[in-house]
Structure 1
Amino acid sequence: MTETGKPLIHLVDDDEAVRHSASFMLRLAGYRVQTHKDGVSFLDDVEKLEEGCILLDVQMPKMSGLAVQKELNARGIGMPVVVLTGHGDVSVAVQAMKAGAVNFVEKPYEKQVLLKALEEAFAQLESQSRGAMHKADAEKRLAHLTPRETDVLEGLVEGLTNKAIANSLNISPRTVEIHRANMMEKLAVDSLSSALRIAFTAGLGED
């Protein structure tokens, strides 16, 4: 494959060391990478940039990743977004997914986890014209859940931890873990982001 034929990633992160190490790793994995030092400079150039996937850090000075995402939506820019969040920052990840992020990856990330998230993002880019997942299909999947499994999913949609969900439902965290595992199996997903994507497509958690 020629250099121009490789998929392009726009890496937006204020940490120069992360930009250097991540772009090196992604190039070795077969991607082209354009780095951007912060969200403001990225938005200044975004209308002129080649279409690709956006790998967006959430915690940045000047403008957070969520604010960048909001501005991208306001401008109607449909490039798929994968956000990098702090470890255990579930509520931020949920906000990003609600705003349309394809996936989120926790820092410090494992190489294979990041690459899989980017593969999903590029798959969405290819299928956007066909509609990646229709509402009816998402609703059909959710219909297989028990009421308790749906309760747990709704808690995750709200950005709650397992412990907080357990408290709200008056059950043990271990019971929440069991319902969560069953819910993931019935939805045929292996990550929280994939489960959230189905939930949001079906309209769960809409105000």
Structure 2
Amino acid sequence: MTECNAQFKKTIRLKMYDAFEAAGFTRFRKEGVDWPLHDGFHAWVGLNTALYPDRVDITPNVGVHVVQIEKLCEFKGGKYPYKYDRRVATYAINIGTLDAVGDERAFAFGPQQSDAFIDAECKRLAHIYATAGLDYARSIASYEALLPLLQEYVDTLGGYPERVASCLYLMGRKREAREFVTDFLARHRDYFEGFAVPFLAKLDEEDLVQT
């Protein structure tokens, strides 16, 4: 019997990504898929994978990756630099919290399961993403829809303040972006300075060009 180890975990993940690719998702890395929507918005897929002595559990997350927002976050340097990565979510939730998915059973894989069962489970998850997952991603695939979701978590840090500022900027609300960044910098200088200083300098430069 196959052992439940790191290699088994990797095998399950690769089978998952194979199923997503077969369902029409774009496979941009060996272990990375998404679904381009429009104007730099991508439906994001996150498969948190936990290895236990007897099984591998998959916790599926869904959301959006917004290229323009994540590229602006690259302004961040200093102590906490940021590098663009297509695998990173701009915003995401556990797909199991969606009403359309609530009754689905959890995804758990063990060495005793047949290849046919594992393949069927991978296809089941890919189908959930291709239906309910894409519906959710499309529902938040605009700056207007995304902004309040990002704002809700801004005090947790973790990239949310940078994304709020970038979202405001991309919506053309540069004055609000400046006010937000200035205020947040005053309260969280150690965390935020690496982003705030170059971002405010960018706004200053654009203001000079316009005058």
Query: Higher strand share goes to which structure?
Result: 2
Q: TM-score if structure 2 supplies the norm length? A: 0.24
Larger relative contact order (Cα-Cα within 8 Å, sequence gap ≥ 6): 2
Q: TM-score if structure 1 supplies the norm length? A: 0.25
**Larger CA Rg, structure 1 vs 2:** 2
